[in-house]
Amino acid sequence: MEEPTVLGPLMLSKRFVMVGDYLPRSPSLRSKLARKKGYGVSLFERLCKRFPEPSMVLVKQYTMNQPIMNLANQLGFNNILRQGKQ
């Protein structure tokens, strides 16, 4: 979903919940001008960094097998992921 699409509903709400993560990769950009203007940072990442108190990191994951989780941990999650019971 593009950022302008969600801004209207967010501005009209008293509360909202966003679920996801920005750690493994940032938005894909081809334009150097877009990156220079700050479009390489997602709305989700900006909100989490600006308002860290109401945000939390979910460290248990249930979808990746152990070797893939280990790689993701090393490349993007600073070794915070843990395997959940299935």
Q: Is the dihedral of CA 71, 74, 78, 80 positive or negative?
A: positive
Q: Is the pTM value of this prediction over 0.75?
A: no
* Alpha-carbon Rg for the chain in angstroms: 15
42-75 pLDDT, tens digit per residue, is 888 888 888 888 877 778 888 889 999 999 888 8
